[in-house]
Homo-oligomer: A and B are copies of this chain.
Amino acid sequence: MKSFFQITPLEQVFAYATRFERVDTETVPLAEALDRVTAGAVAAPEDLPEFDRSIVDGYAVRASSTFGATESNPGYLTVKGEVLMGRPPEFTVGAGETAYIPTGGMLPKGTDSVVMIEHTEKLDDHAVEIYKSVAPGQNVILTGEDFKKEDVLFTAGIRIRPQEAGLMAAFGIRFVPVYRKPRVGILSTGDEIVSVEETPAFGQLRDINSHTLSGLVAKSGGIPVAFGIVKDDFASLFHQCAEALKNTDAVLLSGGSSVGTRDLTVEVLSRLPDSRILVHGIPISPGKPTILAHVGGKMFWGLPGHVVSAMVVFAAVVRPFLETLAGLSQARPQFGIPARLTRDLASAQGRIDYVRVRLIQKEEGLWADPILGKSGLIHTMVSADGLIRVPMNSEGLEAGTPVDVFPV
């Protein structure tokens, strides 16, 4: 079977994401939930807080007892007692009365607000002067003011941040239903590639792509699973691809930049059961010879062999697919860092160019300085702070043009 190399517009590429099913779910302890993706909405099992609490040190009052109090005309209140931390007060506070309350203390019955200690003066154990009036609810968090029982804490498909973890702790939620982390198989092809453990013979190179792609998979929330280096022959490639697909949720095959290997990959894909090539060629540079296939329900990517191309394709296309697989329903949109281009940049129409840039902070603001160089050179990516996009229908960008820099 000959390779059928036809560019698929990016919108159509991304539309294929819905063809792949999310990974299944599991339950993890709260302490391991950070950065995981929620598998279901969680509702508040109770009010938070469950009692009115003070957020300052001061005197708990009913607000009406303080109305009119000023520096020059202080109010005078009788002290009924002191609130102890973590315990319901055993007394009631009426009109003209008050009780000392520390930050976090529970409001005594009869009170609705707290006068900050800075605005009071203790006269003796039984009397205090108030120099400022308060409104009902002031300096207090009311029962259920943070969350009411049954409120939705969060929906399915969000990545758990430290604050979400804290919120679950607040409700005593010790086990969290999350999506499994997608297992992503990583394979490098090429008869000239040897593993990092080996000393390459003259004419050979060590495997760079497995290591960069593993890092990218890990940083996007997946579990990279190394399937090593495959020789450029049908039997080896078929066997290793089948093996990787069997044991993972998605496979990234990189290498095969030569037409021969690409043809081989297409042939392997066409012979794997229940396989369909969805995309063979995307309108980005570097990264055009990218393959996306649906194989027995699994996701298969054929990525370019040059390391920079493979990284660009991962950042531009693969990552959102893996995030969909991982259960994310509302990936927080990626925003670029605004900068201005240091120099003119030529580009061809009909494709999106991804250019590596260094960020330079000058007095007048931030500048994006293009790092030019072949996509086979890893140093261009090591020197880069990020990527900028030169749009599809542009013949290039002039020096000074505002651009968005996406960190790499």
Query: Closest chain B residue to A49 by CB distance?
Result: B205
CA distance A207 to B166 in the complex (A): 8
User: With the chains together, A374 CA to B142 CA distance in Å?
Assistant: 11
| Interface flag for A379 (CB, 8 Å) | yes
Interface centre among A30, A55, A307, A335 (most CB of B within 10 A): A335
Q: Is the CB of A104 within 8 A of B169?
A: no
Known: A211-B169, A258-B102. A232 touches B196 (CB 8 A): no
How many of these chains are in the complex? 2
CA distance A378 to B151 in the complex (A): 14
How distant is the Cα of A187 from the Cα of B201 in the complex, in angstroms?
55
Q: Does A397 contact B (CB under 8 A)?
A: no
Whether B196 pairs with A169 at a CB distance below 8 angstroms is yes
Which residue from B34, B197, B201, B332 sits with its C-beta under 8 Å from A215? B34
Asked, given contacts A170-B208, A196-B174, whether A378 binds B104 with beta carbons under 8 Å apart, the answer is no
User: Closest CB of chain B to A359's CB: distance in Å?
Assistant: 8
Q: How many whole Å from A373's CB to the nearest CB in chain B?
A: 9
A51 near B203 (CB under 8 angstroms)?
Answer: yes
Q: Quick check: B257 and A103 within 8 Å, CB to CB?
A: yes
- Chain B residues within an 8 Å CB radius of A146: 376-379
- Binding-face segment, A20-28, A84-92, A245-253: A84-92
Picked from B199, B203, B213, the residue with its CB within 8 Å of the CB of A86 is B203
Complex interface residues of chain A between 189 and 238 (CB less than 8 A to chain B): 190-193, 196-216, 218-219, 232
